[in-house]
């Protein structure tokens, strides 16, 4: 970081000016981020319907640990997390390494095509996927015609396949997004490292695991943390593809909070308690990922 | 050996590209077909597009939702850029220890999941509905306010300010310009590409925002495009052709922005981690 050699008089004059530049943002972020967080913490110790809340101590937290639907939502969310995030990151890494090849033709086309899903709104693509994966949808028709399956798969109606559909949908939407991060990081790697490795007779796989992965570690960490945070907040897709069904088999934590607050009889206090479980999970998982990746590089 | 590897690379990338593009093709093609043909698996463009469009205009208030979405996203984008760039510039140019601490606290807000804020936010806006009807539940203001300031965008502008030539700043001071006019008349025009990238990201996320508008907008007159599409898509006997043309229309603005400004778009996504 270059030192701004501004002299002391300018410094002193600019103390107030400086704060006036940042003041509005600071106020808005405190009102619309930190204040609600504190409110949610207070509400998590209250119960009641709608706005008639009163303090009931740890009741909500006790309820949380015996709430089967909460555990279903947590389990589903973690299935998405553990299955989808690794698949997507490996796929995005693999694609970006292929695309980083200097001799590759049609590079621009491939990159644009794979990135294209990112321009769709979550709602729009979720509904397109719901139709493609419907009982009489195109995916089943295609698989039946190829004689890969004998009877249509219940992509939306079967508890197991509905989860698979959600995983496929999210992977489709976000792989290109992660790929862009890896591509821009790969472009910063000095090619002479690879040249040297080649002279030493290192295979492509050896180069990938020995050079590419270690150098991309900070950005892989960044994308896995953002993907984890994103998955813990999964809502739009599930809401529009399966509505959480069949029988809560695709319900996510965010959707459960939404249901508690705005669908069932407004149980704001308990909803706030459930929402704090996401906060705690995000903190724990981000911390864990930092530890696993070794925080020196991050 | 080398040739077969090449072949595999092209084959693999072609398949991935096809899978990525196919839902778009299908959605555009199906929007020109009758609902029966869509379920029948027809993959050729039909002649039913105008008919589907006409039906969409009859069953929904498409224009109103488009206008609502446009108003909200454009206002959000303009305000967000102004607020965040002022702050990002301020944190970098007037750097001090106390400001760095405040900046780091602001960054913590990126870790807060929206699910944890939505209930208190909803109550905040519901509480002021009676006294300040223009910013209560079901107003444009209530959609815009909580989403207009993001620590991400402040961070993005701060990083970009590091690239801003300090000589320009000093030159402005020597010329006797006030700090604000240095920002307005030198910084903003110099950083056009940064603003473009930030504008695209903000516009897209605002145009596509679903959960918060779903909570805070309740009357049919305030519905945005994602809400309209979601309602259409949740019906039990869907008219595929009609719904898909709604989705095509809802996706067009972001798709156009993407194709016109691809470079800035990518710069905007990755800019934060340079």
CB B46 within 8 A of CB B37: yes
Q: Does domain A63-293 have CATH number 1.10.760.10?
A: no
pLDDT mean over A257-279: 88
Q: Give A159's Cβ-side CA count (13 Å radius).
A: 7
Select from A119, A133, A229 the residue whose CB has the most chain B CBs within 10 Å, as the one to mutate to test that interface. Answer: A119
State how far residue A123 is from chain B, nearest Cα, in angstroms. Answer: 6
Residue B271 has pLDDT above 80, yes or no: no
Predicted confidence (pLDDT) per residue in A163-214, tens digit = 999 999 999 999 998 998 898 888 878 888 888 888 888 888 888 888 888 8
Cα gap B154→B109, rounded to integer Å: 12
Residues of B in contact with A236 (CB under 8 A): 210-211
Instruction: Tell me the mean pLDDT in the region B211-233.
Output: 92
Is the CATH number 1.10.3720.10 carried by domain B67-273?
yes
Residues, chain B: 274
Residues of chain A with pLDDT > 70, as a percent, come to 94
Q: What is the mean pLDDT of residues A226-247?
A: 89
Q: How far is residue A71 CA from its own chain's centroid?
A: 20
Q: Which of A19, A22, A70 to mutate to test the interface with B (most CBs of B within 10 A)?
A: A22
Sorting pLDDT into bands at 50, 70 and 90, what band is A1?
very low
Using DSSP, how many helices (H) and how many strands (E) does chain B show?
16, 0
Percent of chain B's residues with pLDDT above 90: 48
C-alpha–C-alpha distance, residues A146 and A164, integer Å: 20
pLDDT in tens, A43-74: 999 888 777 788 888 888 999 999 999 999 99
Top-confidence residue, B265 or A140:
A140
Q: In this model, does residue B94 exceed pLDDT 60?
A: yes
CB contact under 8 A, A18 and B207: no
Q: Which residue has the higher pLDDT, B83 or B190?
A: B83
Quick check: A12 pLDDT over 60?
Answer: no
Round to whole Å and give the CA distance between A42 and A269.
8
Partner A contacted by B28 (CB < 8 A): no
Sign of CA dihedral A267, A248, A163, A116: negative
Q: Is the pLDDT reported for residue B272 higher than 60? A: no
A261 touches B at CB < 8 Å:
yes
- Kindly indicate the confidence band of residue B91, based on its pLDDT and cuts at 50, 70 and 90: very high
| Average pLDDT, integer, range A87-95 | 95
Contact A55, A272 (CB under 8 A): no
Nearest to A127 among B84, B229, B258 (CB): B229
pLDDT at A30: 96
Region B53-66: mean pLDDT is: 91
Contact: B120, A114; criterion CB under 8 Å: no
Maximum average pLDDT range among A163-172, B127-136, B167-176:
A163-172
Q: How far is CA B204 from the centre of its chain?
A: 2
């Amino acid at each position: 970081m270059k030192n701004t050699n501004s002299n002391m008089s300018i410094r002193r004059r600019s103390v107030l000016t400086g704060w006036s530049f940042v003041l509005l943002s600071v106020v808005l972020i405190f009102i619309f981020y930190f204040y609600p967080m504190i409110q949610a913490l207070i509400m998590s110790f209250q119960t009641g319907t709608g706005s008639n809340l009163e303090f009931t101590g740890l009741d909500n937290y006790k309820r949380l640990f015996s709430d089967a639907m909460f555990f279903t939502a947590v389990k589903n969310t973690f299935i998405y997390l553990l299955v989808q995030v690794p698949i997507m990151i490996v796929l995005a890494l693999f694609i970006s390494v292929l695309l980083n090849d200097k001799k590759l033709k049609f590079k621009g086309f491939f990159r644009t095509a794979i990135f294209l899903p990112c321009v769709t709104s979550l709602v729009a693509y979720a509904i397109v996927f719901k139709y493609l994966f419907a009982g009489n949808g195109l995916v089943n028709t295609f698989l039946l015609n190829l004689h890969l399956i004998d009877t249509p798969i219940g992509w939306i109606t079967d508890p197991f396949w509905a989860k698979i559909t959600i995983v496929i949908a999210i992977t489709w939407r976000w792989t290109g997004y992660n790929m862009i991060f890896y591509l821009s990081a790969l472009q910063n790697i000095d090619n002479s490292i690879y040249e040297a490795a080649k002279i030493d007779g290192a295979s492509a796989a050896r180069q990938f695991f020995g050079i590419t992965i270690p150098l991309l570690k900070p950005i892989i960490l960044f994308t896995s943390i953002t993907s984890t945070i994103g998955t813990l907040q999964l809502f739009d897709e599930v809401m529009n593809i399966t509505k959480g069904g069949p029988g809560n088999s695709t319900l996510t934590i965010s959707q459960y909070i939404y249901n508690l607050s705005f669908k069932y009889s407004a149980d704001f206090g308990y909803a706030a308690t459930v929402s704090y479980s996401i906060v705690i999970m995000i903190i724990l998982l981000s911390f864990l990922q930092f530890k696993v990746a070794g925080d020196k590089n991050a | 050996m080398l040739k077969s590897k090449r072949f595999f690379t092209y084959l693999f990338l072609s398949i991935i590209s096809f899978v990525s593009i196919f839902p778009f093709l299908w959605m555009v093609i199906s929007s020109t077909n009758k609902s029966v043909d869509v379920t029948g698996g027809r993959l050729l463009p039909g002649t039913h597009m105008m008919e589907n469009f006409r039906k969409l205009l009859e069953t929904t208030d498409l224009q109103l939702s488009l206008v609502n979405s446009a108003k909200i996203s454009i206002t959000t984008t303009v305000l967000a850029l102004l607020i965040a760039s002022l702050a990002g510039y301020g944190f970098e140019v007037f750097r001090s220890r106390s400001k760095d601490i405040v900046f780091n606290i602001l960054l913590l807000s990126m870790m807060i999941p929206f699910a944890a804020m939505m209930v208190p936010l909803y109550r905040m806006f519901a509480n002021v509905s009676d006294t300040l009807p223009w910013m209560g539940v079901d107003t444009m203001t209530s959609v815009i306010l909580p989403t207009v300031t993001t620590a991400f965008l402040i961070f993005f502008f701060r990083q970009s300010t590091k690239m801003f030539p300090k000589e320009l700043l000093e030159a402005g001071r020597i010329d006797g310009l006030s700090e604000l006019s240095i920002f307005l008349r030198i910084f903003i025009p110099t950083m056009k590409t940064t603003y473009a990238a930030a504008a695209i990201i903000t516009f897209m996320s605002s145009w596509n925002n679903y959960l918060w508008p779903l909570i805070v907008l309740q009357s049919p007159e305030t519905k945005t495009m994602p809400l309209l599409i979601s309602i259409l898509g949740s019906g039990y006997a869907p008219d595929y052709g009609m719904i898909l043309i709604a989705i095509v229309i809802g996706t067009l603005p972001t798709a156009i922005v993407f194709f016109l400004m691809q470079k800035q778009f990518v710069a905007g996504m990755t800019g934060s981690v340079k």
